[in-house]
């Protein structure tokens, strides 16, 4: 991800790392960290009239992080054999 130029680097790196995490044992902490960073940034932006686009992007990210956690919980409830494609 270091090659990617982020539009909102103050929080997007944490968010993208959480969304890309594949290890269930790390997922919860990365999502929590991303939620905290996004929420902090949204509070900072709320006191200004600047960067409305970042406010929208941050709000979307804050909604998506818990969905990612929920999806991971559902998938972890399935057996690994159920997730393997059949040939």
For residue 6, what pLDDT is reported? Answer: 92
Query: Could you tell me the CA-to-CA distances from 58 to 19, 25, 70 in Å, in that order?
Result: 14, 25, 19
For residue 11, what pLDDT is reported? Answer: 92
The tokens describing 65, both together, are 């992080």
Q: How do residues 19-63 score in pLDDT, each as one tens digit?
A: 888 888 888 899 899 999 999 999 988 888 777 899 999 998 888
Sign of CA dihedral 36, 37, 42, 47: positive
Using alpha carbons only, give the angle 61, 67, 70 rounded to the nearest 5 degrees.
150
Q: Is residue 13 a contact partner of residue 33, using CB atoms and an 8 Å limit?
A: no
Which residue would you say has higher pLDDT here, 73 or 83?
73
Query: Is the pLDDT at 79 greater than 70, yes or no?
Result: no
Q: Is residue 20 a contact partner of residue 72, using CB atoms and an 8 Å limit?
A: no
Q: Which residue has the tokens 């709000």?
A: 59
Q: What number is the average pLDDT over the span 61-85?
A: 63
Which residue would you say has higher pLDDT here, 65 or 52?
52
């Amino acid at each position: 991800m270091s090659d990617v130029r982020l539009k909102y680097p103050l929080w997007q790196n944490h968010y993208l790392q959480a969304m890309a995490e594949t290890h269930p044992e790390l997922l919860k902490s990365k999502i929590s960290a991303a939620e905290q960073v996004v929420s902090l940034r949204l509070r900072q932006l709320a006191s200004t009239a600047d960067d409305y686009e970042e406010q929208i992007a941050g709000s979307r990210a804050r909604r998506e992080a818990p969905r990612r956690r929920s999806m991971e919980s559902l998938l972890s409830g399935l057996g690994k054999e159920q997730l393997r494609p059949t040939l």
